[in-house]
């Protein structure tokens, strides 16, 4: 334990100070001689133990019990009441009022063992309170995850009847929460031709504990939805075996993937069939991706011929090195260049003039990854 910190509730008699200092090696002692002092002391860094009289002057100067003020201490502060000599009958009243223990002024030898027990019990209580606090937090976090998860989550009793279903489950299968509670899961979402498979999931759980499967389930309107289901047994409060199941809508995911594939296909077709020359290049000047129009513009047989044989755009394609330097300066400064006029050298050595649009692509850390650009034959100067 850290240095023992004692809050001394004092009526001004020196024997209380001696009692406090007899505990531990040079304990840190703070004295409160009124209820206001006591309340202020409890706002300071926490004490390990409160010791002293069980009544202090209140705002009107009349003695008042300290227990209501001590009860507000966070974390709880154990209190040993010091009572008048021989007044053991007051001890029970003190403990009933909130004291952890008591001693009378004529038995100072009882303080050390009493304090050791009280501090030990207090430490245990703090551990229990911390565990309860953690458990409460866990329940709050779990409840939040359960209620707001996009996955459909359902809890079942030992008879496979639904005890709780989250919004994700109800949205996925088209039910209101009150419609599913108490219903048999198989009768609610399992198609007739999947009943045997459904029972097999629970049989497999007896040995595998957790089971993952991809299958079809039925919505309230009779339509089928392709899902991934993760099932596992859980221990219910009464000791019986219950179950949980989590459903992921694969139909929605498959539609999203199909939409992504279609978008990629559309972009690829647009890139390959664009009239303008399009490219992706490294910052040091190497083509990594070019379309047929750019290969044709620069006189190469194919996109592969252009990408494979041009090692440096600045030296081999740009006619004027200072023009390439200006292009790089602008795109690094502004992130893009528009209608940049430059002279380019075709594969056969012919010089052409083009307009180039390009943008720089950076990663999340601001590191330059590559350039995306397009080139078009430049119209004659006006």
Instruction: For 181-201, write each residue's pLDDT tens digit.
Output: 999 999 999 999 999 999 998
Instruction: Determine the average pLDDT of the residues in 2-26.
Output: 82
Residue 142 forms part of a structural domain:
no
**Same-domain status, 101 and 28:** yes
- Average the pLDDT over each of 65-69, 115-119, 170-174 and give the range with the smallest value: 115-119
pLDDT confidence band for 382 (50 / 70 / 90): low
Residue 330 lies in a domain: yes
Tokens linked to 276: 């303008």
Specify which residues 159 forms β-bridges with: none
Q: Are residues 15 and 124 in the same domain?
A: yes
Average pLDDT of every residue of the chain: 87
Beta bridge partners of 80: 51, 101
154-157, Cβ contacts within 8 angstroms, sequence gap of 24 or more: 154/180, 154/185, 154/244, 154/245, 154/246, 154/247, 155/234, 155/242, 155/243, 155/244, 156/185, 156/242, 156/243, 156/244, 156/245, 157/236, 157/240, 157/242
In-domain check, residue 263: no
Residue 179: CATH number of its domain: 3.30.450.20
- Range from 131-135, 158-162, 242-246, 368-372 carrying the lowest mean pLDDT: 131-135
Q: Which of 3-12, 77-86, 232-241, 273-282 has the lowest mean pLDDT?
A: 232-241
**What domain range includes position 122?**
5-129
Q: Tell me, yes or no, whether 25 and 112 share the same domain.
A: yes
Domain end residue (candidates: 254, 289, 316): 254
Quick check: 1 pLDDT over 70? no
Query: Can you give the CATH number for the domain in which 93 is found?
Result: 3.40.50.2300
Instruction: Specify whether 283 is located in the same domain as 246.
Output: no
Least confident of 10-19, 132-141, 240-249, 332-341: 132-141
Mode of pairing for the β-strands spanning 162-165 and 28-32: unpaired
| Phi–psi pair at 263, nearest 5 degrees | -65, -40
Q: Mean pLDDT, to the nearest integer, of 56-77?
A: 88
Q: Residue 43 pLDDT more than 70?
A: yes
Query: Do 289 and 325 reside in the same domain of the chain?
Result: yes
Confidence check: pLDDT of 155 > 80: yes
Among 13-17, 55-59, 162-166, 337-341, the range scoring the smallest mean pLDDT is: 13-17
Residues 17, 118: one domain?
A: yes
Residue 231 contacts residue 211 (beta carbons within 8 Å): yes
> In this structure, are 250 and 278 located in the same domain?
no
At residue 380 the predicted structure's pLDDT band, cuts being 50, 70 and 90, is confident
Cα 197–153–240 angle (5° rounding)?
75
Q: Reply yes or no on whether the pLDDT at 163 is more than 70.
A: yes
Q: Do 120 and 22 share a domain, yes or no?
A: yes
88 and 10 share a domain?
yes
Boundary-marking domain end, from 224, 254, 284: 254
User: Does the residue 265 lie in any domain?
Assistant: no
Same domain (yes/no): 280, 216:
no
- Residue 382 within any structural domain of the chain: no
Identify whether 324 is part of a domain: yes
Q: Are 161 and 115 contained in the same domain? A: no
Residues 236 and 330 reside in one and the same domain: no
Q: For residue 140, is it within any domain? A: no
Query: What is the rounded CA–CA span in Å between residue 245 and residue 184?
Result: 13
- pLDDT, average across residues 136-147: 76
Count of domains observed in the chain? 3
- Asked if residue 67 has pLDDT above 70, the reply is yes
Q: Residue 239 pLDDT > 80, yes or no? A: no
Phi/psi at 39 (5° precision): -60, -40
- Could you tell me the two tokens for 26? 């040079």
pLDDT for the residue numbered 350: 95
Confidence at 2, pLDDT banded by 50, 70, 90: low
In Å, how far are 163, 227, 295, 325 from 254, measured between CA atoms? 30, 11, 37, 47
Name the residue with higher pLDDT: 137 or 92.
Answer: 92
Return the ∠ at Cα 347 (arms to 342 and 353), rounded to 5°. Answer: 20
The pTM of the full predicted model, rounded to 2 decimals, is 0.44
pLDDT at 310 over 90: yes
Q: Which residue has the tokens 């079942």?
A: 156
What gap in Å lies between CA 92 and CA 94, rounded to an integer?
A: 5
Residue 229 lies in a domain: yes
Boundary of a domain, candidates 129, 162, 184: 129
């Amino acid at each position: 334990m850290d240095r023992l910190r004692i809050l001394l509730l004092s009526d001004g008699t020196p024997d209380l100070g001696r009692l406090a200092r007899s505990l531990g090696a040079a304990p840190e002692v703070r004295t409160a001689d009124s209820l206001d002092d006591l309340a202020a002391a409890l706002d300071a860094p926490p004490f390990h133990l409160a010791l002293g009289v069980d009544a202090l002057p209140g705002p009107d100067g009349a003695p008042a019990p300290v227990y209501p003020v001590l009860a507000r201490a966070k974390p709880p502060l154990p209190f040993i009441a010091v009572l008048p000599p021989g007044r053991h009958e007051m001890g029970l009243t003190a403990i009933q009022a909130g004291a952890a223990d008591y001693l009378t002024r004529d038995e100072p030898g009882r303080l050390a063992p009493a304090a050791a027990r009280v501090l030990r019990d207090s430490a245990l209580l703090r551990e229990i309170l911390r565990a309860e606090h953690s458990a409460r937090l866990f329940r709050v976090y779990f409840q939040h995850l359960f209620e707001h998860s996009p996955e459909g989550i359902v809890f079942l009793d030992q008879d496979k009847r639904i005890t709780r279903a989250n919004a994700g489950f109800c949205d996925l299968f088209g039910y209101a929460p009150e419609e599913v509670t108490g219903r048999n899961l198989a009768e609610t979402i399992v198609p007739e031709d999947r009943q045997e498979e459904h029972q097999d999931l629970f049989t497999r759980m007896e040995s595998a504990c957790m089971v993952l499967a991809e299958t079809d389930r039925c919505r309230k309107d009779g339509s089928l939805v392709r899902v991934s289901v993760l099932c596992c047994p859980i221990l219910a409060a009464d000791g019986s075996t219950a179950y949980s199941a989590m459903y992921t809508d694969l139909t929605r995911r498959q539609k999203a993937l199909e939409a992504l594939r279609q978008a990629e296909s559309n972009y690829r077709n647009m890139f390959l069939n664009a009239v303008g020359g399009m490219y992706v290049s490294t910052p040091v000047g190497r083509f990594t991706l070019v379309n047929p129009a750019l290969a044709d513009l620069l006189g190469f047989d194919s996109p592969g011929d252009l990408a494979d044989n041009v090692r440096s755009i600045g030296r081999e394609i740009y006619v004027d090195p200072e023009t390439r330097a200006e292009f790089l300066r602008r795109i690094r400064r502004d992130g893009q260049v528009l209608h940049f006029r430059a002279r380019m050298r075709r594969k056969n050595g012919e010089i052409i003039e083009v307009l180039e649009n390009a943008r720089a692509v950076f990663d999340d850390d601001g590191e330059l990854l590559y350039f995306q650009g397009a080139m078009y034959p430049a119209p004659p100067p006006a």
